């Protein structure tokens, strides 16, 4: 039987910087004899609010496995992205802030256009710069077998948009437990809890999760609170970031016990957007 990780080219592998998609990159590289063809690219879209651990992990996966991982960031001007290196990438929310300023408002739970532009749009614009259009290349996503609903939603959207999409982890029947046991056997790891992935204070996760993030990484809140102040708006209509900070200060242990690993997944797949639009 052909390996699910032996993918046809041209292909764009979406690397979220999480453990699941890193395992996928590893397996695809191995299935191709340890050297990916030039027209199979591995792409990471940096929002600027990624955790330092995520950025280090992405770099380490590339250097340890001998894989060229390309990094793109959203830019408000055409063509809508810039390719950057590990030394020059944004670490203080610059791409995200540029998008907010262009939109002159904040994304929220109902309107998660940050994903659309910072992740999916930047990758799509990069692919377009290679002359690749939807349907002419395979988009490879790191969803696992235990993420069935997301897979069905993704396939439905892809069909509607005329995209070709593959989920090799799911095809290989790999689940979260398989991913975790793989990383337990590796000499390096992401170094984050499963609930800490993606943007450091993503408004799509629950309040308890965000409070735990603030407790572990108090400085993260500053950027998010500043966006709310500057736009006179909110990421979450129920609570402002500065209120979460205040709650953490008053009740440092109240939220220690929660179960929310929702975001051990690709941010770009949480939304149904995929336009070539430049914000
Ligand atoms: S992780 Fe959250 S805040 Fe960041 S781009 Fe994705 S949906 Fe938006």
Task: Give the per-residue pLDDT at 91.
Answer: 97
Find out whether the beta carbon of 202 lies less than 6 Å from any atom of ligand 1.
Answer: yes
Find out whether the beta carbon of 45 lies less than 6 Å from any atom of ligand 1.
Answer: no
262 located within any domain: no
Find out whether the beta carbon of 114 lies less than 6 Å from any atom of ligand 1.
Answer: yes
160 CA distance to ligand 1 middle (Å): 23
What domain count does the chain have? Answer: 1
| 56-69 pLDDT per residue, tens | 999 999 999 999 99
62 located within any domain: yes
21 located within any domain: yes
Confidence label for 271 from pLDDT (cuts 50, 70 and 90): very low
Task: Give the per-residue pLDDT at 263.
Answer: 45
Range scoring the smallest mean pLDDT among 87-91, 94-98, 158-162? 158-162
Find out whether the beta carbon of 106 lies less than 6 Å from any atom of ligand 1.
Answer: no
99 located within any domain: yes
Atom of ligand 1 nearest to the CA of 49: 4
**Closest residue (by CA) to atom 7 of ligand 1?**
115
Task: Give the per-residue pLDDT at 259.
Answer: 55
270 CA distance to ligand 1 middle (Å): 9
Mean pLDDT, range 262-271, rounded to an integer: 48
Find out whether the beta carbon of 269 lies less than 6 Å from any atom of ligand 1.
Answer: no
Confidence label for 256 from pLDDT (cuts 50, 70 and 90): low
94 located within any domain: yes
266 located within any domain: no
Atom of ligand 1 nearest to the CA of 204: 2
172 located within any domain: yes
267 CA distance to ligand 1 middle (Å): 6
Task: Give the per-residue pLDDT at 18.
Answer: 94
Domain extent for 149 = 11-184
CATH number at residue 148: 3.40.50.620
5 located within any domain: no
Distance CA 121, CA 111 (A): 15
């Amino acid at each position: 039987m052909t390996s699910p990780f032996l993918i046809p080219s041209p292909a764009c592998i979406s690397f979220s910087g999480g453990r699941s998609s890193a395992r996928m990159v590893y397996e695809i590289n191995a299935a191709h004899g340890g050297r990916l063809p030039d027209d199979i690219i591995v792409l990471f879209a940096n929002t600027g609010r990624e955790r330092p651990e995520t950025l280090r992990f992405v770099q380490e996966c590339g250097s340890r496995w001998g894989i060229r991982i390309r990094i793109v960031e959203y830019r408000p001007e055409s063509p809508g992205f810039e390719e950057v290196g590990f030394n020059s990438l944004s670490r203080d929310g610059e791409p995200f802030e540029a998008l907010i300023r262009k939109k002159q408002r904040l994304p929220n739970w109902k309107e998660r256009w940050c994903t659309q532009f910072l992740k999916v749009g930047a990758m799509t614009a990069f692919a377009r710069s290679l002359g690749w259009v939807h349907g002419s290349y395979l988009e490879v996503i790191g969803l696992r077998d235990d993420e069935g609903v997301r897979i069905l939603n993704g396939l439905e959207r892809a069909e509607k948009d005329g995209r070709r999409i593959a989920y090799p982890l799911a095809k290989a029947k790999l689940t979260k437990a398989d991913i975790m046991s793989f990383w337990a056997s590796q000499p390096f790891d992401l170094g984050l809890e499963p609930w800490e992935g993606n943007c450091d204070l993503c408004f799509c996760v629950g309040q308890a999760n965000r409070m735990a993030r603030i407790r572990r990484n108090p400085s993260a809140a500053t950027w998010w609170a500043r966006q709310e102040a500057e736009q006179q708006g909110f990421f979450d209509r129920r609570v402002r970031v500065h209120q979460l900070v205040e709650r953490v200060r008053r009740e440092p242990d109240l939220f220690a016990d929660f179960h929310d690993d929702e975001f051990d997944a690709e941010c770009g797949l949480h939304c149904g957007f995929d336009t070539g639009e430049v914000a």
